[in-house]
Every structure is written in structure tokens, then in C-alpha cells.
A = this chain, B = another copy of it.
Amino acid sequence: MAGFSVGQVAAFAGVTVRTLHHYDEIGLLSPSERTAAGYRRYAEPDLDRLQQVLFYRELGFPLEEITAILDDPGADAATHLRRQRELLRRRIARLESLAEAVETALEAARMGVSLTPEERYEVFGEFRPEDHAEEAESRWGGTSAWAESRRRTSSYGKADWQRITSEAGELVEAWRALFEQGVPAGSAEAMAVAEGHRRHISRWFYECTHEIHGCLGEMYVADERFARNYEQVAEGLAVYVRDSITANARAAGGPV
């Protein structure tokens, strides 16, 4: 007889019969045939599809999304493969960075050196760009600013990013200098830096109004991850930055 029974396919693919039933129920993978008695018969193309399903599933895609991906008529086999390659690349990179972190920690343990909390957070919870991207998406994924930012940054090369980070570093440095010299956050100098920061964002990421800038300022204090970035430079800098941003926004366009 042509085709395979559920049990065969299940054993073959390393899944349970129940799983195949489930995939049939939700229309993700329905066998192309049934026997007279109602037995499922899986043909070769069904097995192909199952492999695709398992692949995406392994990478954590929800089944509904997998259905959409595989049923997309605009995507041929090569498209899927390229996509899968990219997904794997990212996933591997993520795991490797985790592995590296573990290695560092292990080395430290062997040496009897105890890592400071900062060092430990650095590797997992901290501000790696990758993490930031993932988390940013989950937070602002639907907003237009996000879309714009995404659109723009996609075309940036290495040189651009170097320039961006160096500019950002200069801004932080300027803030730090003023802060440590005791220049108030509401001063013209501090507000100037804040304005520079706003333009920096507008230039490289998305149209950042004073209002939005004010929200960002708040977040730099409220959100531990952002706050840490400033607090590491100088204790109290996050609040100072926020205050200068708020002052600048207030001066430019009324209350925040």
C-alpha cells in the first residue's frame, strides 16, 4: 500500500501519534488520504511538510504561525531554506554567547575569583545589542516609531554603527562632565546636551519629538536596564539625564 500509517510516521519522525492527530485537527498537517475505514495515510509530500513543521517547531514557532508560513503561496522551497538558515544562524549565535558567558563564569570559579554582580549581569540580563533588539520588539513592536527605526537601521553599515555609538558616547560623556561639575540639570548647557541627544535619535532612528524624548528620559530612570547604563558611568547620572531632558522639553514646547 502506498503511504504510511500514523504510527509509522510518528515513529519515523520521533513524535507521538497524538501529535499527528493534533496537527491534523488544526489543519497544520492533514494526511493527503484516508483509507475506507478512516485510517490516515501519509504520502511523501506530507512527510516533507512534517519536516518543515518540525524544523520551525524546534526553533520555537507557534503552530499557527508555522501554518501561515508553510501555506504562504509566495514562498518556495529556497525561500524557506534561506529563512531557516538565517534563523539557525541567530539561534546558534545566541547560544554561543551564552556558552561564552558560562565559560567565563566557570573560569572565574576555577580561579577562585568571585564575579561582581555587574559582571554577572553583563552576560545574561545586560544590554547586549541582540537582547535589546529582541526586547525592544516585544515592547514597541507595533508602534510606528519602531517600524521607522527598523526601516532606517536596516541599511546601516559597520561605519554607521561606529559613528552612532561614538556620538552616543560623546553625549553621555558631556552629561557626565556637567553632572560632576555640579552644573544643574536645568541649565542651558545640560539642556543643550539633551537637545543633542534628541537630534541624535531623530537623525539615526526615528522622528523624536520633545514629548517622546520626555518619555525616553523617564524610562532611563524607571527602567533598570537603561538606568544601569548611566549609573555605571556615574551614580545619579540617570536622574540627571532625565531631568535635563525634561527641562529641555519643557523649555521647547510646554509641559511634558
Spell out A's residues near B (CB within 8 Å): 4, 8-9, 11-14, 44, 47-48, 51, 54-55, 58, 77-78, 81-82, 84-85, 88-89, 91-92, 95-96, 98-99, 102-103, 105-106, 109-110, 117, 120-121, 124-125, 131, 134-135, 138, 223-225
A81's partner among B81, B85, B105 (CB-CB below 8 A) is: B105
Beta-carbon contact of B85 and A99 below 8 Å: yes
Beta-carbon contact of A125 and B225 below 8 Å: no
Compute how far the CA of A99 lies from the CA of B48 in the bound complex, rounded to whole angstroms.
Answer: 17
18 A-B pairs (CB sep. < 8 Å): A9-B224, A12-B125, A12-B224, A12-B225, A14-B125, A14-B131, A44-B117, A48-B120, A51-B120, A54-B124, A77-B109, A78-B109, A81-B102, A81-B105, A88-B95, A88-B98, A89-B99, A92-B99
Compute how far the CA of A89 lies from the CA of B77 in the bound complex, rounded to whole angstroms.
Answer: 30
Beyond the given pairs A14-B131, A14-B138, 6 more chain A to chain B contacts, judged by CB atoms under 8 angstroms and listed by A's residue number, are A12-B223, A12-B224, A78-B106, A78-B110, A88-B99, A95-B95
Compute how far the CA of A142 lies from the CA of B79 in the bound complex, rounded to whole angstroms.
Answer: 42
Beta-carbon contact of A51 and B85 below 8 Å: no
Compute how far the CA of A106 lies from the CA of B86 in the bound complex, rounded to whole angstroms.
Answer: 12
Chain B residues within 8 Å of A78, by CB = 106, 109-110
- 7 closest A-B pairs by CB: A88-B99, A81-B106, A12-B224, A78-B109, A8-B224, A84-B102, A85-B102
For the residues of A in contact with B, the DSSP-based class is helix
Beta-carbon contact of A11 and B92 below 8 Å: no
Beta-carbon contact of A11 and B223 below 8 Å: yes
Closest B residue to A96 by CB, please name it. B92
Closest B residue to A109 by CB, please name it. B78
Compute how far the CA of A85 lies from the CA of B96 in the bound complex, rounded to whole angstroms.
Answer: 10
Chain B residues within 8 Å of A99, by CB = 85, 88-89, 92
Chain B's nearest CB lies how many Å from the CB of A11?
5
Chain B residues within 8 Å of A58, by CB = 98
Beta-carbon contact of B109 and A81 below 8 Å: yes
Closest B residue to A225 by CB, please name it. B12
Closest B residue to A126 by CB, please name it. B12
Chain B's nearest CB lies how many Å from the CB of A93?
10
Chain B residues within 8 Å of A120, by CB = 48, 51
Chain B residues within 8 Å of A138, by CB = 14
Closest B residue to A124 by CB, please name it. B51
